[in-house]
């Protein structure tokens, strides 16, 4: 991948993977990115997943063209980026490892050694002179692990951004950036919006022309677009106007209520209506929608005196990612003792700045004429 005469891409594409981090469906695979900066002193930035050791080493060797690297910069210790540290050190025994102090502790856990004889520990403002290229480091704790650092090359104005600005999908597949970057961000980084906002303050004054993440494509054009989306996501703002509905249904009656609501919302002029069947959809995509739109409706049955398991799981995904700043409406169903709305509200209590609709829907087994009136009122309120 040619984007600079002296900065080379040596990453790999993974089409063997089915679930990233054991839970995220990745139909278009994943990219594990790694970079080499060629200068008087040569720096390699991050390794790749263990399954691609040989391909990655071959890529690095081809770029080095017989030269030896001076530094291995470790920005993030998740195994999809750090698995080959020990292999690399054994292959290039003179190489120095540049990382945050917390990363060296993690290396001891992973590899049984913290490489004390070759450590270069860096923190905010630390610099590394490669010759023509001058590197400086920015700590990014909890974006999304505590040891994360980012590397800024002031010569070519490149920010090597670790997992930030990453996305699902291999690089040999063409797809929309925002969709899979949003799902990646919300699922993996979403809890740490405050930390991402803190990072924005750190790098706000840096002149950045290229962003090189550890997953996904290198970003070279219209950086304002990507930065704006990251700012919205990390501040829990509303990206798209519309209403997202999330439901579970046992015998189809709650589904009928949801379908009626969707039609009413469209009649009332809702800009977008998105419906997610939580028992059948990709849970990560449903969570993504909840964070994308400003208004949501949760519809489920009372089940074992609680709520249907898929809805419970969904709400847990929201709360553990600091869901906030939204309007929430409810549809509940119960044949003898409906408590679903009460349970869902209780689960959402720790979320910040949620507004609940005045109009909600209580279905008693099947949708009644009264329910139809309630659904109409809810739609009107959501479309004000």
DSSP letters, 344-373, are: HHHHTTTSEEEEE-S--EEEBSB--HHHHH
* Residue range 133-157: mean pLDDT, rounded: 97
Contact 48, 12 (CB under 8 A): yes
State both tokens at 53.
């050791």
| pLDDT, tens digit (0-9, with 9 covering 90-100), for 198-254 | 999 999 889 999 999 999 999 999 999 999 999 999 999 999 999 999 999 999 999
Same domain (yes/no): 177, 247? no
118 and 191 belong to one structural domain: yes
Q: How many domains does the chain have?
A: 2
99 plus 226 within the same structural domain: yes
Q: Are strands 324-333 and 361-363 parallel, antiparallel or unpaired?
A: parallel
Residue 323 lies in a domain: yes
Is the separation of the CB atoms in 294 and 241 below 8 Å? yes
Same domain flag for 215 and 252: no
pLDDT band at 3 (very low <50, low <70, confident <90, very high): confident
Q: Which residues of 347-371 are buried (b: 16+ CB within 10 A; e: fewer)?
A: bbeebeeeeebebbbbbeeebeeeb
Task: Look at residue 214 in the predicted model and tell me its pLDDT.
Answer: 98
According to DSSP, the β-strands at 306-307 and 324-333 are unpaired
Last residue of a domain, one of 234, 260, 278: 234
**Cβ count within 10 A of residue 295:** 21
Mean pLDDT rounded to a whole number for the chain: 97
92-141 confidence digits (pLDDT tens): 999 999 999 999 999 999 999 999 999 999 999 999 999 999 999 999 99
**Is the pLDDT reported for residue 182 higher than 90?**
yes
Task: State pTM to two decimals.
Answer: 0.93
Together in a domain, 287 and 336:
yes
* Residue 198's CATH number: 3.60.15.10
Cross-strand bridge partners of residue 23: none
For the chain, the farthest-separated pair of C-alpha atoms sits apart, in whole angstroms, at 78
Domain that holds residue 332: 243-382
Q: Note whether 197 and 83 are same-domain residues.
A: yes
CA–CA separation, 315 vs 130, rounded Å? 49
In a domain, 2, yes or no: no
Domain finish residue from 216, 234, 252: 234
The 10s digit of each residue's pLDDT in 40-86 is 999 999 999 999 999 999 999 999 999 999 999 999 999 999 999 99
Return d(Cα 255, Cα 368) in angstroms, integer: 14
For residue 2, the model assigns a pLDDT of 72
Note whether 169 and 316 are same-domain residues. no
> How would residue 376 be classed by pLDDT, with cut points 50, 70 and 90?
very high
Q: What is the pLDDT of residues 315-331, one digit of tens each?
A: 999 999 999 999 999 99
In a domain, 306, yes or no: yes
- The percent of the chain in helix, strand and coil, each rounded to the nearest 5, is 35, 25, 40
């Amino acid at each position: 991948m040619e984007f600079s005469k002296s900065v080379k891409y040596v990453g790999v594409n993974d089409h063997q993977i089915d679930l990233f981090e054991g839970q995220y469906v990745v139909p278009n695979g994943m990219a594990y990115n790694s970079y080499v900066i060629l200068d008087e002193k040569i720096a390699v930035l991050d390794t790749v997943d263990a399954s691609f050791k040989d391909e990655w080493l071959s890529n690095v060797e081809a770029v080095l063209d017989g030269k030896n690297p001076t530094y291995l910069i470790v920005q993030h210790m998740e195994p999809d980026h750090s698995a080959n540290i020990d292999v690399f050190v054994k292959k290039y025994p003179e190489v120095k490892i540049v990382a945050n102090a917390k990363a060296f502790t993690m290396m001891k856990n992973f590899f049984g050694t913290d490489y004390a004889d070759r450590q270069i520990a860096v923190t905010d403002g630390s610099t590394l002179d490669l010759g023509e290229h001058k590197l400086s480091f920015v700590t990014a704790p909890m974006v999304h692990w505590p040891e994360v650092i980012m590397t800024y090359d002031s010569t070519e104005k490149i920010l090597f951004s670790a997992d930030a600005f990453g996305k699902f999908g291999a690089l040999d597949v063409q797809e929309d950036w925002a969709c899979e970057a949003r799902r990646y961000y919300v699922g993996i980084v979403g809890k740490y919006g405050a930390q991402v906002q803190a990072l924005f303050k750190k790098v706000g004054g840096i002149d950045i022309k290229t962003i090189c993440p550890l997953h996904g494509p290198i970003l070279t054009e219209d950086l304002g677009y990507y930065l704006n989306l990251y700012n919205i996501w990390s501040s829990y703002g509303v990206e798209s106007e519309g209403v997202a509905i999330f439901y579970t249904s046992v015998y189809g009656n709650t589904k009928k209520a949801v379908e009626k609501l969707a039609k009413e919302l469209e009649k009332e002029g809702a800009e977008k209506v998105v419906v997610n069947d939580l028992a059948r959809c990709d849970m990560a995509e449903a969570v993504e929608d909840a964070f994308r739109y400003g208004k949501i409706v949760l519809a489920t049955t009372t089940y074992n005196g609680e709520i249907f398991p898929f809805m419970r799981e969904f709400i847990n995904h929201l709360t553990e990612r600091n869901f906030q700043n939204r309007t929430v409406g409810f549809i509940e169903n119960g044949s003898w003792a409906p408590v679903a709305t009460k349970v869902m509200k209780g689960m959402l209590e720790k979320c910040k700045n949620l507004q609940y609709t005045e109009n909600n829907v209580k279905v008693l087994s099947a949708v009644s004429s009264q329910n139809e009136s309630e659904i109409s009122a809810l739609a009107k309120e959501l479309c004000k």
